[in-house]
Structure 1
Amino acid sequence: MTERLRPGDPAHIGGHRLLGRLGAGGMGTVYLGRTDAGALAAVKVILPEYAGYEEFRTRFRREAEAARRVDSPWAVRVTGADTESETPWLATEFVPGPTLPEIVARYGPLPARSVKVLGRLLARALAAVHAAGLAHRDVKPGNVLLAADGPRLIDFGIARAADATALTATGLVVGTPGFLPPEQATGSGADAGPAGDVFSLGALLAYAATGRPPFGSGAVDALLYRTVHGAPDLDGVDDPALRALLTECLAKDPAARPSAADLDTRITEVVPAGGASASWLPEDVVRTIAERSAAMLALPDIDATVGDAAASDTPEPRPAPARRRFLAFAAGGAVVALGAGGLAAVRLWGDGADGRSGATTAGRRWVIGVHADLTGNQKAAGRAQERGVRLAVDRFNSRTDKPFTLTVKALDDRGDPARAEEVAEEFARDPDVLAVIGPTGDAATGAALPAYDEAVLPLLTVSSLQIAYAARVNAAFFQASPSYAALSLPIVTRLLRSPGAGRLGILIDRSGGQAAYQAGYAANLMVPGLTGGTTHPRVVPAGATDLAPVVADLLAHRSDALLYAGDAAGAARAARALAATPFKGPRVAQHTAMRPEFLERAGEAAEGWEFIAPFTGADMAGGDTASASARPAADFAAAHRERFGAAPDAWAAEAYDVAGLVAREAAALVRGAGKSGAEKNGAGKNGAAEGGSPTPTRSPGTAPPGASPSGDGRPGRAALAAAIAASRYEGISRTYAFDAERQQLVARDAHLHRVEGGRFRYVGPAPQPKG
């Protein structure tokens, strides 16, 4: 379904009047547009921050050229493009239908006949792609739209000529884990051509027939391993002919797979003449396609944009959807389906015995939730965040001018995505929860997002740092720390602005999953444009035990600065291997490796290693670089020691900041939307310490209504989300302000840590590029 245009969206792109948003991803936004002749189109626009990178522009140019060469009724047709303009764009025909994952998530697996017809039509689309001398390289369920007249294969973003040179470095996986072929999953640089597309089509059809990806879901490295070494899960495919066909398509050896043209002739299921009838699909699916098509074609009024007229009042928040919207396919390709089970096994952490975080008024209790991993692999980060939130609530409740009293409700997801869904459902059902801080990890965040999104419940994460997440209907999710890719900016700045450094060796360890891949890949792209330097990237498989040959290769290629992207164990192996060489240059490891395990395993080899992290440290007030927030940071550290008997761990200050932001905006809404920004921001010198901010956080007259529909004065969730989105908050860790498009941090502040004397020491704010 379309979303309203936002104030920062353009009104026109390349002769298209923009009517609404169809979605947004890591690299761009897709709009619903209409030409002067009345034709509808899906207009993909590259984000400004990527348009300046020649490699991204080259990739976008290639996408347009590739898509123009494909001639098939089952592949979306390009209707226009401008890859050279300041704002590059690509327009394709508009298909008003749901994606395959939406249908499977809602109705379950498709019957065998439907899967066969789907396979035959998509095979024809791929045959046209291959006839044009191309390979699609990202065939997956999310790239299939179901329309009344048949399916459409979309998104040629990484398609390339079968004999072309890849833009990515050898060893970097391109495609969607779980649906890419073994030759891509190994990252060996082997060509993933037309045979690879057939493998991906087999995985897609297996998903359609069973309701689950054939190589499971979960961590990326585990998915890649199962793709290369494991047998596909075809349980539930009872039709012998279909099962045999899927088995051939999913053969590990590319030469053993049929071609796309062969599939068209081997699948004997009759396709409706001209594709004019959707009778090959179950009746309820046909009905949904018709309803979606009708809804999408009932175009909204033309939205006012900044380019048309100045925005006046903030539009009222849209109500939550009437039923669960299954937003399928996050990065790993797994369908997100919310469980209906209760929270019997979910640990509930109550308030402290002293009652400071649990004080309530005579009226209803108003709650800030903490969704965290409190007992799993990330329990240290989860507990630190819970403590930070409790301190922020203590601070707020100690104020004499507070309009209400807050309490904390903490739920443990144990780092389990399935349990994270249950935790999100529990918070969503509790009407007293104003906002939630968390979750701790990437997988838990992806699993929990649909429940929070449907409830329009503000969710602020400080430690889930993916570049992009599954599409959302409501703008209530805030990524309150720079992403893995954004953190590459200060990493590159730190390394290549060191004296004598000009070539960056990058070691991407797949043990670090998507976090390592995103950080390493982004650093590889940034170096030439940011510093004029060069790179030498290397990728090692998860679990590699001997990194000495890789380190030797990096040094043999004249690397005078090193970046390790991966986990703590791998960083320790890299440190020991490097210590056995004469190398004395700067070396930085990704913050995901900044754990006690690194110090224990690396020993003396850990000395001098640095980490660029989105979090501060226990000694954050005493770093090498003076900070305007030094005094509030010292006050926070002292309060943490008094309250919990220990110095604050990583992520505590960040959780303290965002909880303080939520409390301040909720209080401002309760005090009245008609007051000026200065009145609502409070008189304190520091937002984190006093609940205020020295400057107004939004333009006068744009604050949303604050009371809940029930009239009890509680801030409405949608209103609070809009207030957070428009705010600017000076925390002790960084300044918090979010872009209007993706609710990600505008600032890329990070922090520098160094190993000295066998411990992590906070150095100060990380260096940022000049200009």
Structure 2
Amino acid sequence: MWGWQDLRVGALLTSTPTPIPSRPAPAAGDLAPLLPADPSAIAGYRLLGRLGAGGMGVVYLGRTDAGELAAVKVTLADRAERTDFRSRFRREVEAARRVVSPWAVPVLGADPDAPEPWLATAFVPGPSLGEAVVAHGPLPERGLRILGGAVARALAAVHAAGLVHRDVKPANVLLAVDGPRLIDFGIARAADPAGETALTGTDMVVGTPGFLAPEQAEARTEDVGPASDVFALGCLLAYAATGRPPFGTGAVDALMYRTVHDEPDLAGVPDGLLPLLRGCLAKDPAARPTAEQLAGRLAEDTPGAAADWLPAPVVRTIAERSARMLALPDIDPTSTPAAAPPAGPGRRRFLLLAGGAGLLAAGGGTWLALRDDGGNGGTEGKRPAPPPKARKWTIGVQADLSGPGKAVGQAQERGVRLAVEAFNSRADKPFTLDVKVSDDRGDQHRGAAAARVLTSDPDVLGIIGPSHDYTGYAALPAYDEARLPVLTVSAGYNLLTNPGLGQGLSVVRLCSRHNYAALYLAYHVLAKSPRPVTRPGLLQDRTDENYSWQYVVGASIGFKGSGVLPHPRVVPAGAKRLERVLGEMVDAGIDAYLHAGLAPSAVRAAKTLDALGFTGMRITGQHVYGDEFLRGAGAAAEGWVVGAPVVPPGIRKQAAAFVAAHRARFGTGPAPYAGEAYDAVTLLAGEVAKAFKGGRRPDRTTLPGLLRKATHKGIMGEYGFVEDGNLTGVGTFLYTVRNGRYEPMDWAPSAPPTPKGTPKPASAPQGT
């Protein structure tokens, strides 16, 4: 049985869940133009644009002659040739058609037997629950009850049809003013699994980690049933109430383990909902209520035509997306000319009523005032509009400027401002740049709001930052929705770029991911230790669990891939029992030590190992690099090796002018990450200048693709990127502590040592 402890090496490096045959619903704001090879119509649906695309096919926005909008999923022909895939597609169509509920998106048409099978479902122009919570925060209690009651009714209909949805998650619940809609029956199956093992498999985890039941996490196929959907709904409601999943986030196997063994974190859930959610999240499926019982306990009221069950910002999002649909091309005229249509709302009225209720809902605090312009733009008898103001060309900065990580954030802001000043001083500049800053204070709960300050400004062409892993992750949905390029020089959290989860689509990372950085640190230990290393100690401090887990994973792969078995240990958050665990590791005979944790525990580790007389190599990573470790550890820090994605500007002759400008402007030399932020701006400005043609500013949504294909020689080195936006090469620079200071060494090796010696990095993105 595939379990939480059996993840493969590749999955560990990316922390991507086991492949799941489902996808988030495309958002209305994400419409892209049709490509030349796309059809213009499918089975009576005129195609207006692309809502999304992937390896399996394309989802289009389609419209009938009557003005009805639909999401039309079309499978690629090569996929359709596979009998098993066509069977799965047919099963999805049949499952969706069997579910009859006002709270499930209905099937409008389908043809599983077409050369390219297609499925059309009603189009909902609202955001997913996940988008809404990330962008605007948790729902109020009344909204939670209405959300839960509606989704529970949809699941009751699913279960009445003899099915199990198996993927109830925030991305699969769309929000309309008249209530939520459950979508995506791509992995639904019969409640009785007999006869379906050929399609589903008995040892495969199906669902989304963090929103699946213990029986799904342990791949106990025979136990997966309607109660599994109820558990997932409990997770979904906890997320909607608090803004976080009840079993946390992070590595997939850790999520699976917590789902099976830990109690859910329900802090912040309204008291009136706590007993209900605890019942949904019972480990024993038999102890959970049915979806029908749950609907009865939640059904205090229904949304009706008013939108007051949703926060006003969410209603505004629905309104804005519906308004964007008004700009879609009109229906092609028929061959027989018709008289001019009478004045009236027509398609506009249909769009505003999409989902079953008008957006003129006063309770939601938002309404759309639309008029018929009679085809002349509404200019007759009106004053001419004033000329538009010249648009700015703005670089956005999202960073921690006043919180615990302000040293890094402020350094990046200074680097950005110096790069903009240098660009504006050029005699040949094609345009003048401006800077707009959004301070997230290092608080992940402020990450999304800080991002919206920048995404809502049409003059912002790209973002430098975020400076922190988790504010960056919280900001991802806003940046993904806006398709605004995001260049980060310090956020190494692996899930910031993860197309497998449909996120980080616009991120360009100028630093190494944490798991790869740890991989290179392990290579350095093997290559440079004064004595052969056969039993390296590897300690994970769970104070920052995602960061430390990624370091453990990367280092383990580096050691094991070289035939060396590490000695791993874990200490809980706060590094309790750290000294005792380190003593046990030394007694076990470790001959090198890699610290996967933060500066406070690294200080304690340095002092403890020093007191124990440990003489092996000691090495750690990015979140220890800084003055806190030097000050706290004192003499015990001597000899430690620290890796971080920053190069000292003083050793780069290309950075001499930057160093001088920084001293003149700010009265001091540049701090770490200032030079890398400077390079990020010059990279972005260069690609914007290349795309600036015919006097027209480029569409900012085209810039992520251009940046990911770019190479750049900056003052701190050279940069190149792979298709998903991650840095090629190493990106981890090494320092050793000498006389209380970080002494620069070199780039970490990109491969393990060979008998002939340690090779040079194959492709370091930033050379010295």
**Short-chain TM bin:** 0.5 to 0.7
Q: Evaluate the alpha carbon distance shift between residue 483 and residue 450 of structure 1 in structure 2; reply closer, same or farther with a 3 A threshold.
A: same
Partner of 1:116: 152
Q: Evaluate the alpha carbon distance shift between residue 4 and residue 732 of structure 1 in structure 2; reply closer, same or farther with a 3 A threshold.
A: same
Superposed displacement of residue 733, structure 1:
2.9
Superposed displacement of residue 379, structure 1:
0.4
What secondary structure does 1:608 align onto? coil
**Residue pair 1:707, 1:716 contacting (<8 A) in 2 also:** no
**Residue pair 1:178, 1:227 contacting (<8 A) in 2 also:** no
Instruction: Deviation per CA, 1:13-65: give whole Å up to 9, x if none.
Output: xxxxxx999678xxxx7655737598599999xxxxxxxxxxxxxxxxxxxxx
Instruction: Deviation per CA, 1:704-736: give whole Å up to 9, x if none.
Output: x5743xxxxx44423444432332101233422
Amino acid in structure 1 at the alignment position of 2:233: L
Superposed displacement of residue 397, structure 1:
2.9
Matched, 1:723 2:703: no
In structure 2, how many angstroms separate the alpha carbons of the residues matched to 1:510 and 1:197?
Answer: 35
Q: Evaluate the alpha carbon distance shift between residue 421 and residue 493 of structure 1 in structure 2; reply closer, same or farther with a 3 A threshold.
A: same
**Residue pair 1:375, 1:414 contacting (<8 A) in 2 also:** yes
**Residue pair 1:118, 1:151 contacting (<8 A) in 2 also:** no
Amino acid in structure 1 at the alignment position of 2:614: F
What secondary structure does 2:435 align onto? strand
Partner of 1:752: 734
Matched, 1:458 2:485: yes
Superposed displacement of residue 654, structure 1:
0.7
In structure 2, how many angstroms separate the alpha carbons of the residues matched to 1:220 and 1:3?
Answer: 30
Partner of 1:562: 593
Matched, 1:493 2:523: yes
Superposed displacement of residue 111, structure 1:
4.8
Aligned partner (choices 621, 632, 640) of residue 609 of structure 1: 640
Q: Evaluate the alpha carbon distance shift between residue 30 and residue 733 of structure 1 in structure 2; reply closer, same or farther with a 3 A threshold.
A: farther
| Deviation larger for 759-768 or 548-557 | 548-557
Q: Evaluate the alpha carbon distance shift between residue 193 and residue 617 of structure 1 in structure 2; reply closer, same or farther with a 3 A threshold.
A: farther
Partner of 2:422: 395
Amino acid in structure 2 at the alignment position of 1:258: A
Instruction: Deviation per CA, 1:568-590: give whole Å up to 9, x if none.
Output: 11111222222232322222112
**Residue pair 2:154, 2:182 contacting (<8 A) in 1 also:** no
Superposed displacement of residue 123, structure 1:
8.0
Q: Evaluate the alpha carbon distance shift between residue 424 and residue 122 of structure 1 in structure 2; reply closer, same or farther with a 3 A threshold.
A: same
Instruction: Deviation per CA, 1:196-218: give whole Å up to 9, x if none.
Output: 99799536336348832587789
Partner of 1:576: 607
| Deviation larger for 580-589 or 403-412 | 403-412
What secondary structure does 2:623 align onto? helix
Identity over aligned residues, as a percent? 32
Matched, 1:511 2:538: no
Partner of 1:550: 581
Q: Evaluate the alpha carbon distance shift between residue 564 and residue 142 of structure 1 in structure 2; reply closer, same or farther with a 3 A threshold.
A: farther
Partner of 1:523: 555
Aligned partner (choices 626, 631, 635) of residue 595 of structure 1: 626
Superposed displacement of residue 500, structure 1:
0.3
Superposed displacement of residue 121, structure 1:
7.2
Instruction: Deviation per CA, 1:308-342: give whole Å up to 9, x if none.
Output: xxxxxxxxxxxxxx99xxxxxxxxxxxxxxx99xx
What secondary structure does 1:258 align onto? helix
In structure 2, how many angstroms separate the alpha carbons of the residues matched to 1:643 and 1:600?
Answer: 28
Partner of 2:567: 536
Superposition RMSD in Å: 5.7
**Residue pair 1:609, 1:754 contacting (<8 A) in 2 also:** yes
Partner of 2:231: 202
Report matched runs for 1:55-66 at 5 Å: none
TM normalised by structure 1 equals 0.59
In structure 1, how many angstroms separate the alpha carbons of the residues matched to 2:51 and 2:727?
Answer: 21
Partner of 1:651: 673
**Residue pair 2:230, 2:291 contacting (<8 A) in 1 also:** no
| Deviation larger for 490-499 or 607-616 | 490-499
Matched, 1:235 2:267: no
**Residue pair 2:173, 2:182 contacting (<8 A) in 1 also:** no
Q: Evaluate the alpha carbon distance shift between residue 231 and residue 437 of structure 1 in structure 2; reply closer, same or farther with a 3 A threshold.
A: closer
TM normalised by structure 2 equals 0.60
In structure 1, how many angstroms separate the alpha carbons of the residues matched to 2:233 and 2:623?
Answer: 33
In structure 2, how many angstroms separate the alpha carbons of the residues matched to 1:382 and 1:537?
Answer: 33
Amino acid in structure 1 at the alignment position of 2:655: A
**Residue pair 1:145, 1:151 contacting (<8 A) in 2 also:** no
Amino acid in structure 2 at the alignment position of 1:599: L
Amino acid in structure 2 at the alignment position of 1:439: P
Superposed displacement of residue 549, structure 1:
2.6
**Residue pair 2:486, 2:506 contacting (<8 A) in 1 also:** yes
Report matched runs for 1:99-114 at 5 Å: 101=129, 109=144, 110-111=146-147, 113-114=149-150
What secondary structure does 1:587 align onto? strand
Partner of 1:664: 686
Partner of 2:662: 640
In structure 1, how many angstroms separate the alpha carbons of the residues matched to 2:33 and 2:547?
Answer: 31
**Residue pair 2:230, 2:290 contacting (<8 A) in 1 also:** no
**Residue pair 1:484, 1:515 contacting (<8 A) in 2 also:** yes
Partner of 1:626: none
What secondary structure does 1:570 align onto? helix
Superposed displacement of residue 648, structure 1:
1.5
Q: Evaluate the alpha carbon distance shift between residue 561 and residue 179 of structure 1 in structure 2; reply closer, same or farther with a 3 A threshold.
A: farther
Q: Evaluate the alpha carbon distance shift between residue 195 and residue 152 of structure 1 in structure 2; reply closer, same or farther with a 3 A threshold.
A: closer
Bigger radius of gyration, 1 or 2?
2
Report matched runs for 1:147-546 at 5 Å: 152=185, 154=187, 176=209, 201-202=230-231, 204-205=233-234, 207-208=236-237, 211-213=240-242, 228=263, 231=266, 233-235=268-270, 244=275, 246-251=277-282, 254=283, 258=286, 263=290, 365-469=392-496, 476-498=506-528, 499-529=531-561, 531-546=562-577
What secondary structure does 1:497 align onto? helix
**Residue pair 1:123, 1:263 contacting (<8 A) in 2 also:** no
In structure 2, how many angstroms separate the alpha carbons of the residues matched to 1:729 and 1:485?
Answer: 24
Amino acid in structure 2 at the alignment position of 1:506: L
What secondary structure does 2:473 align onto? helix
Amino acid in structure 2 at the alignment position of 1:768: S
For structure 2, which runs of at least 5 residues remain unmatched after alignment? Answer: 1-25, 36-48, 59-73, 86-91, 99-116, 190-196, 308-317, 326-350, 353-364, 367-388, 752-758, 763-768
**Residue pair 1:496, 1:504 contacting (<8 A) in 2 also:** no
Q: Evaluate the alpha carbon distance shift between residue 559 and residue 194 of structure 1 in structure 2; reply closer, same or farther with a 3 A threshold.
A: farther
| Deviation larger for 516-525 or 647-656 | 516-525
Superposed displacement of residue 259, structure 1:
5.5
Superposed displacement of residue 386, structure 1:
1.0
In structure 1, how many angstroms separate the alpha carbons of the residues matched to 2:622 and 2:263?
Answer: 29
Superposed displacement of residue 234, structure 1:
4.5
**Residue pair 1:504, 1:561 contacting (<8 A) in 2 also:** yes
Instruction: Deviation per CA, 1:327-381: give whole Å up to 9, x if none.
Output: xxxxxxxxxxxx99xxxxxxxxxxxxxxxxxxxxx97653322222111111000
In structure 1, how many angstroms separate the alpha carbons of the residues matched to 2:459 and 2:130?
Answer: 31
**Residue pair 1:370, 1:410 contacting (<8 A) in 2 also:** yes
**Residue pair 1:210, 1:236 contacting (<8 A) in 2 also:** no
What secondary structure does 1:508 align onto? strand
What secondary structure does 1:492 align onto? helix
In structure 2, how many angstroms separate the alpha carbons of the residues matched to 1:101 and 1:453?
Answer: 15
Partner of 1:274: none
Amino acid in structure 2 at the alignment position of 1:515: Y
Q: Evaluate the alpha carbon distance shift between residue 561 and residue 127 of structure 1 in structure 2; reply closer, same or farther with a 3 A threshold.
A: farther
In structure 2, how many angstroms separate the alpha carbons of the residues matched to 1:95 and 1:755?
Answer: 62
Partner of 2:718: 735
Aligned length: 568
**Residue pair 2:675, 2:716 contacting (<8 A) in 1 also:** yes
